[in-house]
Amino acid sequence: MSLLTPALQDEIRQMMARYPKPRSAILGALHRVQEELGWLSPEAQAEVAALFDMPAGEVDSLVTFYYMYFRKPMGRYVIKVCRSISCYLRGSDQLRCHLQDKLGIQRGETTADGMFSLVEGECLAACDGAPAVQINDRFVENVTSEMLDGLLEELRKGSSRFPAWPEPCKP
Amino acid sequence: MKVKEQQQILFKSRQIENIGELDVYAQHGGYEGLKRALAMKPDDLIELVKASGLRGRGGAGFPTGMKWSFVPKTPGKPKYLCVNCDESEPGTCKDRELVEEQPHQLIEGIAICCWAVGIETAFLYIRGEMLEGYLALRKAIDEAYKAGFLGKSVMKSGYKLDIVLHRGAGAYICGEESALLSSLEGGRGFPRLKPPFPAISGLYACPTVINNVETLSTLPHILVNGAEWYAGFGTEKSKGTRIFCLSGHVKKPGNYEMELTSTMRDLIFGCGGGILEDKELKAIIPGGASAPMLTREHLDVGLDFESIAAAGSMAGSGAVVVMHQDTCMVGAILRIMEFFEEESCGKCTPCREGTRWMRDVLIRIHSGHGQKSDLDLLLSVCGNLAGKSFCPLGDASTSCVTSGLRYFKDEFEHLVEHKKSKYSLGAYDPRLVAAHH
Ligand SMILES: Cc1cc2nc3c(=O)[nH]c(=O)nc-3n(C[C@H](O)[C@H](O)[C@H](O)COP(=O)(O)O)c2cc1C
Ligand code: FES
């Protein structure tokens, strides 16, 4: 059975038509597939490769090159803490350690209940609001440990500010 | 220190509520610049931008009008504009504000550039992490199509223009213009050999202009007020205003638009309100993580391209990062090097290996296991990397080390001798070393 619904396949074909060469749509297509499936499993990648008429290995090489693509199932909320210089100077490491302690996971890991993943990112272009964090690619700035505690509570209840990633499809 | 009255051009409408919406933008003079541009011959428009003295705000400061004039008039194939909104140079956060808050100013600038160069398709490459900026632009582009500022006949002129919004997926190198083209064509973001320059052979091997978001967002104002007006601000060679991204240990971090006659002191103490907790200023990175560091001796340096270069650094992306007296400089330099090591695209050996090596030596020194010879080793790696990498990322990675050893050598030596940093911010802690190593 196909992982990519016919509607999603159609959408990707429309994206391809916007460019002089269809292959230019590949990054956008991978974003959309990840939004639907939660991550880019080898099976999902193979289906994208088939749509673009390119070898699966080439899709894999893109998925490994670009940081935003998930190569394993992630939590419903991916918390990305900026580690670059402006945030570093404003205590981002302490925030990240606080999250590790609160969630009981290390960087790159997901909580056992599948709720949270903790990752580090490089400069998120929010340096004037350092330290900055993204939750599912939405910004939170001037973050403190207390704010993080409040955010975790909010997310556990389900938050309209931060749409959740879908339940990741089975590996 | 009193805040100097600042000339606001790009930020003129910043305080206006909902300026991101087309109606509001139009009510405040929006798309008037485009209207004037369309009434001009493209060649005259290029001359106007040349006369304004506008230089690129993406990093290199290349004269914008001159860049456009390199594109062949009738190449026999399509020409393209690629808008660089990949903003990922550590410390830089102005393009994100410009697209999230004032997307129509950018769209208008794009249309002006395209008319001048004879381009019918613009690709707007926005950094993947800027989801909110992407959504703001998508909405604004839709509005502009519906109102006839884009599409088959721009402002009923018969001129056709499309903007294709394109999301990146996380890779610093894609901000380098030739890597951006590789990425836009659906490949890894690897830089390309120049020549051929993009103006001759860029996207899909067609003539291509690549401009930064801030550069393009300036154009409507030049059209409305004139080239002479714009050239009336700034210094002889650095005209106009520029948005500086002030971050780090200042009381009021933020994006500040300043005339290019201002100084570092105006920015840090005037706009920024001075150093956090009134501590002593120790180091300034004047143009993003790629720029060599300066010190408090440089507070009177002008913010224009030439003055910063004369002080031994570069204006780069306009990101000014400030560090106070408690900062362990070896720790800060290590953090910057970790960025370059992580973001080196891996295409060329000097950069891939050099950044890794420097990072390892810096970790060694920072963690109290360094030797005196490590300082020379760092400089020798810099020597073997600068000028020898495929693209400027390799050179950029050496800036923090060479300038750090120029101004803060005593901190390196102290760490080698006493195995422990004197400073509270950024002293070695095993939990804080990057995980991906
Ligand atoms: C490693 C590297 C990263 C860069 N990142 C960006 C960026 O994020 N945004 C940008 O506008 N220019 C960036 N540049 C500069 C571009 O290569 C290019 O000079 C610029 O987009 C041209 O536009 P401008 O003339 O309007 O400044 C980068 C350059 C290098 C070497
Ligand atoms: S350094 Fe963290 S957002 Fe720029």
Predicted confidence (pLDDT) per residue in A18-49, tens digit: 999 999 999 999 999 999 999 999 999 999 99
DSSP state at residue B234: B
B271: number of Cβ within 10 Å: 23
When scoring B81, B129, B268 by the number of chain A Cβ atoms within 10 A, the one with the most, hence best to mutate, is B129
The structural architecture, per CATH, of the domain B22-231 is: 3-Layer(aba) Sandwich (3.40)
d(CA B106, CA B273): 30
Provide, as residue numbers in chain A, all residues whose Cβ is less than 8 Å from the Cβ of B95.
125
Instruction: Tell me the three state secondary structure of residue B360.
Output: helix
B289 close contact with A: CB closer than 8 A: yes
- DSSP lists the bridge partners of residue B234 as B239
Q: What distances in angstroms separate CA B409 from CA B249, B337, B363, B420, one per listed residue?
A: 22, 17, 16, 15
Confidence at residue B427, expressed as pLDDT on a 0 to 100 scale: 85
Entry pTM: 0.97
What pLDDT shows up at residue A126? 98
pLDDT of residue B437: 40
Close Cβ partners of B22 (under 8 Å, ≥ 6 residues apart): B30, B104, B140, B143, B144, B147
DSSP string across chain A:
--SS-HHHHHHHHHHHHTSSSGGGGHHHHHHHHHHHHSS--HHHHHHHHHHHT--HHHHHHHHHHSTTS-SS---SEEEEEE-SHHHHHTTHHHHHHHHHHHHT--TT-B-TTS-EEEEEES--S-GGG-S-EEETTEEE-S--HHHHHHHHHHHHH--SSSPPPPPPPP-
Q: Which of residues 412-431 of B touch A (CB under 8 A)?
A: 425-426, 429, 431
CB neighbourhood size of B74 (10 A): 7
φ, ψ of residue B327 to 5 degrees: the values are: -80, 125
Q: Which amino acid belongs to residue A152? A: L
* Distance separating alpha carbons of residues B103 and B100, to the nearest angstrom: 6
Query: According to the model, what pLDDT value does residue B435 have?
Result: 62
Residue B4, pLDDT score: 58
Place of tokens 């963690």: B367
Cite the DSSP H helix spans in B199-310. Answer: 213-225, 227-231, 264-265, 305-310
| Whether the CB of B90 sits within 6 Å of ligand 2 | yes
The single-letter DSSP state of residue B250 is B
Domains of chain A from N-terminus onward? 6-65 (1.10.10.1590), 77-156 (3.40.30.10)
DSSP result, B52-71: HT-B-SSSS--BHHHHHHTS
Residue A94 confidence (pLDDT) above 80: yes
* Token output for B240: 């106009």
H helices within B226-271, ranges in order?
Answer: 227-231, 264-265
Q: How far is residue B286's CA from residue B70's CA, in Å, rounded to a whole number?
A: 30
Chain A hits for B171, CB-CB cut-off 8 Å, are: 65-67
Among A52, A58, A65, the residue to mutate for chain B (most B Cβ within 10 A): A65
Q: How far apart are the first and last CA of chain A?
A: 14
Which residues in chain A have Cβ-Cβ distances shorter than 8 Å to B326?
A: none
Query: Where does B329-436 sit in CATH, by number?
Result: 1.20.1440.230
Main-chain phi, psi angles of B289, to 5 degrees:
-60, -20
Shortest Cα–Cα distance, A160 to chain B (Å):
15
A139 contacts B166? CB cut-off 8 A? no
**Quick one: CA dihedral B272, B274, B277, B280, positive or negative?**
positive
Q: Among residues B253, B260, B306, which one has the least CA distance to residue B7?
A: B260
Closest CA to A167 of A58, A77, A46, A42: A77
| Contact criterion met (CB below 8 Å) for B400 and B333 | yes
Determine whether the interchain pair B434/A83 forms a contact, defined as Cβ–Cβ distance below 8 Å: yes
Mutate which of B96, B210, B242, B348 to test ligand 1's pocket (most atoms within 8 Å of Cβ)? B210
Looking at residue A37, what is its pLDDT?
Answer: 96
User: Among B88, B172, B247, which residue has the most ligand 2 atoms within 8 Å of its CB, making it the best to mutate?
Assistant: B247
CB within 8 Å: A128 and B247: yes
Which positions in chain B touch A68 (Cβ < 8 Å)?
128-129, 169-170
Name the stretches of chain B with pLDDT < 70. Answer: 1-5, 434-437
Q: Are the CB atoms for A80 and A119 separated by under 8 Å?
A: yes
pLDDT of residue A1: 65
Residue whose C-alpha is closest to residue B437's, from B344, B338, B364 = B338
Specify the pLDDT at position A137.
97
Pull the structure tokens for residue B65.
Answer: 């009008």
pLDDT at residue B311 in the model? 98
Least Cα separation, residue A153 to chain B (angstroms): 23
| pLDDT digits 0-9 by tens, B368-401 | 999 999 999 999 999 999 999 999 999 999 999 9
B32 touches chain A (CB under 8 A): no
- Element (DSSP H or E) covering residue B258: strand B254-259
* Burial (Cβ within 10 Å: 0-12, 13-18, ≥19) of residue A43: middle
Interchain CB distance below 8 Å, A120 and B91: no
Of B114, B92, B81, B57, nearest in space to B184 by CA: B81
Domain B241-324 listed as CATH 3.10.20.600: yes
For ligand 1, mutation pick of B52, B117, B174, B176 (most atoms within 8 Å of CB): B176
Angle at the Cα of A146 from the Cα atoms of A141 and A150, rounded to 5 degrees:
85
User: From the list B184, B319, B431, which residue is nearest A97 (CB)?
Assistant: B431
For chain B, give the longest Cα–Cα distance: 73
Distance CA A116, CA A112 (A): 9
Say yes or no for a CB contact (<8 Å) between A89 and B435.
no
Rounded Cα–Cα distance for residues B402 and B67 (Å): 32
Q: Which of B128, B248, B343 sits opposite A68 (nearest CB)?
A: B128
Q: Which residues contact B116 (CB under 8 A, 6 or more apart)?
A: B37, B42, B45, B46, B49, B68
Q: Which residue of B has its CA nearest to A58?
A: B187
**Same fold for the domain at B22-231 and the one at B241-324?**
no
Cis peptide before B195 (omega within 30 of 0): yes
d(CA A127, CA B371): 34
Adjacent-strand bridge partners of B81: B122, B209
What is the distance between the alpha carbons of residues A40 and A59, in angstroms, rounded to a whole number?
10
Paired with B82 in beta bridges are: B123, B210
Long-range contact set of residues B376-379: C-beta below 8 Å, sequence gap at least 24: B378/B405, B379/B405
Residue ranges covered by each domain of chain B: 22-231, 241-324, 329-436
The 3-state DSSP class for residue B294 equals strand
Question: Does ligand 2 have an atom closer than 6 angstroms to the CB of A81?
Answer: no
Q: Chain B, 154-173: which have a CB under 8 Å from a chain A CB?
A: 164, 166-172
Contact B307, B254 (CB under 8 A): no
Residue of A nearest to B89 (CA): A123
B27's CB contacts (< 8 A; 6+ apart) are: none
